[in-house]
Structures are given as structure tokens and as C-alpha cells.
Amino acid sequence: MKREGEIRISSGCAISGIFCRDGSRITAEAIKKSIAVMHNRSNGLGGGFAGYGIYPQYRDFYALHIFYDSQSSREETERFLDRRFDIINLSKIPVRQTSKISDAPLIWRYFITPLPHLLQDSQLDENEYTSRAMIAINNSIEGAYAVSCGKDMGVFKAVGYPEDVADFYRLEEYEGYSWTAHGRYPTNTPGWWAGSHPFSLLDLTVVHNGEISSYDANRRSVEMYGYSCNLLTDTEVITYILDYLTRKQGLTLREASEVIAAPFWSTIAAKDEDERSRLAYLRKMFSSFLVTGPFSILVGFDGGMMALNDRLKLRSLVAAEKGRTVYFSSEEAAIRAIEENPDKVWAPRGGEAVIVTLDGEKR
Amino acid sequence: MNCRFRIRTYDNCLSCFRCARECSFGAIEVSESKALAFHHERCVDCQRCVSLCPVGAIYITEAENRFRPNSVFAQNDIQEILIQAETGGALLSSMGASGRNVPIYFDKMLLNASQVTNPSIDPLREPMETAVFLGQRPDGIKRDRDGRIVDNLPPHLELKTPIMFSAMSYGAISLNVHKALAAAAEEIGTYWNTGEGGLHESLYRYKKNTIVQVASGRFGVHETYLNSAAAIEIKIGQGAKPGIGGHLTGKKIIGDISKTRMVPEGLDAISPAPHHDIYSIEDLAQLVMSLKEATGYRKPVIVKVAAVHNIAPIASGIARSGADIISIDGYRGGTGAAPKRIRDNVGIPIELAIAAVDQRLREERIRDRVSVIVSGGIRNSSDAVKAIALGADAVSIGTAALCALGCHICASCHTGKCAWGLATQDPELTKRLDPEKGAEKLVNLVSAWTREIKEIMGGMGINSIEALRGNRRALRGVDLNAKELEILGIEYAGE
């Protein structure tokens, strides 16, 4: 059977997210409990988490999580990194032996920073420099897969049920202000850890439930701008589109949401003149990045989280608030499991992004 | 005497002689003894008599006589030799190519639909968007001092449906056909194209839905003409006759045609093979900019080329010439007159051209900079959907539009005797088309196709046409070899 990336595998899913606007850092126990409620929405073939604020002692360095198939791919990758980055620290990511998770690759973590003279010669900013290096590792080093590469954040994923993945990675030992989780229900066996979610580039992580019908139109367009879709998953292409629109085109996340889940022309026509021309501009300018078909996504980024549904709301997505903490999930039950009495529970409308940021930050 | 067709009647014929009055080719006449007289050798099988017979008493068949079968020389080959031996001339033909061994790739691609893992969308219940914008896109956004996005998009064409009408010139077709096309384009919310013969003054009022063409003959090109349009098309070539010019005989240069084309009455209107001011790509860039200067940068400029072997780099060159839109006309594109050998042997099928161009423009990272219109053998809505999934922004129809007006593709346009009153200037014939009724038929056709496109999109779970563009996973091939699949950029059915 072909590995993920050689074929396109569609999947249904569960997603969940917790965001502490006051910046208080919580362990992953709550997010694990929340995603575990939706056990039936996944089938044991993929689970994962993204945490933000988890590496405060290394917050100025890129935290690199990498899967290796072999020691030789690790050695090759480390040589690759060594030539381009200052490696501040490296170690295996600590894991717990559990019968529910098997066939683990070698899982390593690095804290790195670009070598200053090379960064200067490249005429790139450090984010672009680092993202290109990560894309190069995934494209060209056999058996190496960079799972995440942002600052003060990390992605932990595996083949298995999400609650077992949390135990495997000992996530109760990490504290962060923002967590997302994903349970996967792929339609056939991927058997490859990198195919699990969240998908990530720099500080951007995406967990996604759905199957987008615009996939190949989006993929072929985003690949024009230097991205390479190796996994053939929706999550990967959505992540790259968001990175392109926000980091390279300079759109705000809200504007990016108005591109990928653009309002219908009939809706745009009913707006006042300024808004009409703004929304029409975004649709015309970035028409290749309209995403159709069902999706609900949680986008984690440095200092914030965005929840977004496709414009017809073909997938469930619920939001809730309690004090300064915000919850998102595929099902309300998964929120109630960790917060019995939210101040407010609502279902965001299709195409209407909910964006939360740390108090005092705006993005 | 050799003839291809036989005119037959059933015995319920009323002898009303309607057929004889309708036949413009002199194949059916009334004899002195008041009986129908058939000149089978003149029949072109245009089906006019059949369509208008009040009792369905007339029909056309292939002639039973056939040449002695030969595995190399078909009957047609021998007949053409006989004609050329007689006349010493190049064979003329019209409409699209008839290369029987050139595959129609549209028929070898199948469309996808949603099942279980994602839902199909019902176009009767949910919005289904078919609006298309054609034009250039800048590389990046701009903001004003307050951080608001500034609209830096160059002028665009706005289509309510991704179907336009192809260029057909006044002279090749009648004014009534132009009237029908213009009125239909306005009602549908799309565009019609004047072709290279200028624009009759009475049609200036359709400005918002008109594309005016600037071809190598520059017939009827003046400032008012350029400014009486939503966009300007530079015609380099057309699919039916890539690499060669055009020839409208002096017989057709009469009255208003002479005035509109700015060619003296009775004088042949010859379009040179190349534009004599475009011998290279940098010359094209200059003409694009000249036309933009002449129209105050308010109109997109389209460059139309025939799909030939090198179409991908040609398209890339056009995209970098300042053109806003590239129009590609494939091997099966129609014409009012073309040398038969050229029509049947030059160029490549539009499906392969779309795939190659779209892929090349993406590899060069300029696909989002230009829009691509394709034409040449689009027969129905599923052809249109497949063309868009391969990578086109919109399709353009010529032959199909003429069929809506009555044409049965007898491929005799070059004779000027069109019995349907379309490809002729004979006032007795042109009045056979009522422009208003014609417009209604065209509106019906495009509305029907649009409805079908929405149905197909809904089945695939796609609710906006831009999500279909270049979405090649919506396609699977059958009966194609590995190389064809590679060029089309699609997988085989079952993969």
C-alpha cells in the first residue's frame, strides 16, 4: 500500500482547542480530556497536539521537532542543520512506553537559530530562512520529516488515538497558554506518523476536520509560491495558503479568512460600498485560494488562535468562553467535559472567523 | 456523376416546393413540369430543407455508390485529387478540423463526484457561483497610510458564467448574427467578439459586452472602434488555420461591410499571415502597450493564438508581454474559410494545449498573473467543465453558438451560400435569421449549459467556479496512454 503523500487520503476528524487569553499556562491534561470525549470521531489512525508557550526557556530559538526513519537520516539532517544553524540544544523527545502506540520513528528536538552571516548573505528574514530549510529537509532528506519548527511551540503527533498520543509524549509535563488537538479518521491506513495532524510551518499550526473539494486547485496554486505539498492532505495545503497570505502577502488573519472562506457574491453585494469593494478585491485578487467543501479548522499561531468553518458550515464547530479562557471543539460535549458551566456557548457561522489573542496583543 | 449525398422524399410529399425555395445551393429546383428536380451533386447536407419541410417528407442520405475500397486511398482522397487535377487550386473548407484519427480528449476524461467523505451540494438549495473575472493580477497587495487595502487590480472583464462567444467577423457572418450575439451577450452577462471585420455602428450600444479584435488586416480599426468595447483582442492566429492569414472575397465586400471594414467595395480583404508590425515577442509587447495607450489603460488586452506545438512557451511569452488575458484556440476551432490541408493538419487539440499552458505558467509562477480563455471544439457544458478543471478560466464557443442559430455544420461557409443565413451576405438569405429570436436561442443555450455546470459542480461538492479551475483531481482518464496522462496532468480512472 502506498504511503501518505504518494496517494491522497481523505479523512473525517475531531478537533479541539483551548486558549488562555490571560496567558496563564496550563498542562495538556485538559485538552487530552476534551479530545478523548470524541474518541468515536477518530479511528486510531492519527492523533496529535500543538502547544504554545511550552518552551519559555528557549523562546528566542526555533524549536524543531523531527521524525527520523533511521540513524543515517538523522545524521544527514544534523549535518544539514549544522551548516545553516547554530544548534543551541538537542535531545530525544521524552516518551512513555505504551502498548497503544507502536512503530515510533526516532523523535528528536532541536533548538536552533540561523547562523548570522549566512542569514545575512541569504537576504531573507529569519522566518523565511528557517521555513525554506524545513521545506528542504522534508523534500530532500530521505527518512526525515520536520514536524514543527516555530518558536516557543511544538507539535506532538503519532499514529494512534489522541489520548494515547498524549500519554506517549508525556504531555502532562508541558504547560502552555494555547493547545489544539486532533483525532483522525482516515479512510484507509496511512501508517505514517507525519501524516497525522496538526500540520505546521513556523509558528502556524492547523488542525482540520473536513475534506475540501477545491484541493487540487489550491495545491497547484500554492505550489507556485515555493511550497511543496508532500502529504497531499487538506491540512497541509491550508497551512501553506495561510502562511502565504499572512506572512508573504501581508494579509491579516481575518483578511486571509475572507479569502479562503470568502463570502458569496450575493452577500458581498449587500454590503456597504467600502466593504463591498474590499471583499470583492480579496476574492478577485486571491481567487485561487478559495477553499470549498467541508472544513472546520483551528489555526494556532504565536499569541493567538483562529477558528474557521467553510462558508456553508458543512462541519460542526462549537465555541465557548469561561472567564478569559476560550474553547473550540467539533462537539459541545468535548467542551463541557472540561468546563461544565461556560459563560457563553455558540456555534460560529460558516465563513465567520473567530480570532482570539493574548490580552494586550493584536494580530 | 459523383455525389456525396442523395436527396430523398417519402410519398407524403405535398409538392409545396418549400424545400426548393429554401435550398440556396441549387440542389433542389422546381422543373418546368412543376415537379421537384434534385441535383444531388450540389447538396451539402445542410439539413435546411429537412428542417423546414412541413410534413417531414424529405431526407438526405449518403450516396450508395462508393469508390472501389482501397486500404490506403480512401474515397475522399481520390475525390480531392480529382478536384485538384481539374482546378489546379488549393482545397478550401470551413468549420473545424476533421482529422478522424486525432482523439477528442474531452471524451476520454471523466468527472468526479462526492460520496460519503464529503457532501455534494444541491444547486437548487445553496448558492452556486459561476462568476469569472478575467484580467491581470498584481504580485502583491498595497495598503494606504491607514492600513486599508487599496484596489490595485488592473481593469477586468466580469462574466456571470464562464462561457463567452468566439470571434466571428462581420463579412464572414451576417450582421444579423452579430446582432444576435451582441444582444445575447448583454442578456447573459458575458462577452461576444467582433472578429477582425470591424464593428457595425448600430452595435456600438453593446459596448459593455463587446470585445473588439485587432487582426493583421486591421480592418475597421479606429479609435472609436477600440473605445466601443470592454476589451481589445489582438488576433495572432486561430485554431482552424494557424500560421496563415485570411481572405474575404470582394464579392462579400459590399455596402455596410465595405464601410465597416474600411475596404473599398468589391476589393478582396486580405489579412496577412503575420501582423507586419509583430515579427517577434517584443513587438507584441509594443502593440499591447500601444492599444492600452489608445484606450487610456481602461481595457484589458487579450492576445489570441492558435494552439501549436510550442504553445506553452508562447503563452508564457504573451503573459510577460503585458497582455491581461491569453486566448487559445485549439485544433478543432472553426472558421469561415481555410485551406483544407491547413485546417486538418496544423495545430494541436485544445485539451493538451490547456494542460501544457496551465502547467507551464504555474512552473514559471505567473499563472495568477494572467487569465486564460480557451476554445476550439467545446460542444457542451461538460467539455467546458473539463476545460476549466484542466486549467482554463473560461471557454469560448463559436461553432456551438452558430448551431444554436441553425447551423448543421455542413462546412460550406466558404461558398457564401449558407442556407441558414449565417455565413452569407446574400440579403435573401441573411433575413432568414431573426436577430431577436437568434438572441433568445443563444441565451437559452448558455443558460442551459450554466445550469448543467452548476449541477456538475454541486455533485463534486464545489460551490464556486474558481475552486474548479486547474482542479485536475476532478478528472480521471480512460483509454489514454501514460504520456497523454502525463501531459494532461491527470490520473487514470481507478487510480
Confidence of residue B1 (pLDDT cuts 50, 70, 90): low
Q: With beta carbons less than 8 A apart as the criterion, state whether A87 and A207 touch.
A: no
- Give A211's contacts in chain B (Cβ within 8 Å): 117-118
Is there a contact between A8 and B473 if contact means CB atoms under 8 Å apart? yes
Q: Which fold does the domain B5-89 belong to in CATH? A: Alpha-Beta Plaits (3.30.70)
Shortest Cα distance from A233 to chain B (angstroms)? 13
Q: Would residue A105 be called left, alpha or beta, if left means φ above 0 and alpha means ψ between -120 and 50 degrees?
A: beta
Is there a contact between B461 and A293 if contact means CB atoms under 8 Å apart? yes
Shortest Cα distance from A165 to chain B (angstroms)? 25
Is there a contact between A292 and B467 if contact means CB atoms under 8 Å apart? yes
Assess whether pLDDT exceeds 70 at residue A9: no
B156 vs A8, A218, A284: nearest CB: A284
- pLDDT, mean over chain B: 95
Confidence of residue A363 (pLDDT cuts 50, 70, 90): very low
Other CB atoms within 10 Å distance of the CB of residue A212: 27
Taking only the tens place, the pLDDT of each residue in A293-340 is 999 999 999 999 999 999 999 999 999 999 999 999 999 999 999 999
Q: Is the interface score ipTM higher than 0.95?
A: no
Confidence of residue A13 (pLDDT cuts 50, 70, 90): confident
Site from B132, B354, B357, B473 to mutate, A interface, most A CB atoms within 10 angstroms: B473
φ/ψ of residue B2, rounded to 5: -85, 135
Confidence of residue B87 (pLDDT cuts 50, 70, 90): very high
Return the CATH superfamily for domain A11-44+204-357.
Aminohydrolase, N-terminal nucleophile (Ntn) domain (3.60.20.10)
Q: With beta carbons less than 8 A apart as the criterion, state whether A91 and A55 touch.
A: no
- Does A290 touch chain B if contact means CB atoms closer than 8 Å? yes
Chains A, B: CB pairs < 8 Å: 108
Shortest Cα distance from A355 to chain B (angstroms)? 19
Assess whether pLDDT exceeds 70 at residue A5: no
The CATH number of domain B132-492 is 2.60.40.10: no
Q: How confident is the model over B187-202, as a mean pLDDT?
A: 97
Report the Cα A41 to chain-centroid distance in Å. 19
Secondary structure element (H or E) that encloses residue A62, with its range: strand A62-68
Is there a contact between B117 and A11 if contact means CB atoms under 8 Å apart? yes
- Give B462's contacts in chain A (Cβ within 8 Å): 213-214, 292-293
Site from B109, B454, B464 to mutate, A interface, most A CB atoms within 10 angstroms: B464
Query: So what's the pLDDT on residue A190?
Result: 58
Q: How confident is the model over A354-359, as a mean pLDDT?
A: 97
CB-neighbour burial class of residue A295 (10 A; exposed 0-12, middle 13-18, buried 19+): buried
Shortest Cα distance from B208 to chain A (angstroms)? 20
3-state secondary structure chain B: CCCCEEEEECCCCCCCCHHHHHCCCCCEEECCCCCEEECHHHCCCCCHHHHHCCCCCEEEEECCCCCCCCCCCCHHHHHHHHHHHHHCCCCEECCCCCCCCCCCHHHHEEECCCCCCCCCCCCCCCCCECCEEECCCCCCCEECCCCCEECCCCCCEEECCCEEECECCECCECHHHHHHHHHHHHHHCCCEECHHHCCCHHHHHHHHHEEEEECCCCCCCCHHHHHCCCEEEEECCCCCCCCCCEEECHHHCCHHHHHHHCCCCCCCEEECCCCCCCCCHHHHHHHHHHHHHHCCCCCCEEEEEECCCCHHHHHHHHHCCCCCEEEEECCCCCCCCEEHHHHHHCCCCHHHHHHHHHHHHHHCCCCCCCEEEEECCCCCHHHHHHHHHHCCCEEEECHHHHHHCCCCCCCCHHHCCCCCCCCCCCHHHHCCCCHHHHHHHHHHHHHHHHHHHHHHHHHCCCCEHHHCCCCHHHEEECCCCHHHHHHHCCEECCC
Shortest Cα distance from B310 to chain A (angstroms)? 22
Taking only the tens place, the pLDDT of each residue in B26-50 is 999 999 999 999 999 999 999 999 9
Is there a contact between A224 and B368 if contact means CB atoms under 8 Å apart? yes
Query: So what's the pLDDT on residue A288?
Result: 97
Assess whether pLDDT exceeds 90 at residue A245: yes
pLDDT above 70: percentage of residues in chain B = 100
Confidence of residue A189 (pLDDT cuts 50, 70, 90): low
Residues of chain B with CATH 3.20.20.70: 132-492
Chain A residues 305-344 within an 8 A CB cutoff of chain B: 311-312, 314
Between A9-18, A156-165, B418-427, the lowest mean confidence (pLDDT) is in A9-18
φ/ψ of residue B227, rounded to 5: -90, 5
Query: So what's the pLDDT on residue B252?
Result: 83
- Does A8 touch chain B if contact means CB atoms closer than 8 Å? yes
- Does B125 touch chain A if contact means CB atoms closer than 8 Å? no
Instruction: Specify whether A13 is catalytic.
Output: yes
Assess whether pLDDT exceeds 60 at residue A362: no
**Amino acid of residue B334:** G
Q: How confident is the model over B233-262, as a mean pLDDT?
A: 91
Assess whether pLDDT exceeds 60 at residue B404: yes
Q: How confident is the model over B83-91, as a mean pLDDT?
A: 95
Query: So what's the pLDDT on residue B116?
Result: 84
- Does B123 touch chain A if contact means CB atoms closer than 8 Å? no
In A, minimum Cα distance to B390 occurs at A217
Of A242, A284, A240, residue with least CA distance to A260: A242
Is there a contact between B362 and A187 if contact means CB atoms under 8 Å apart? no
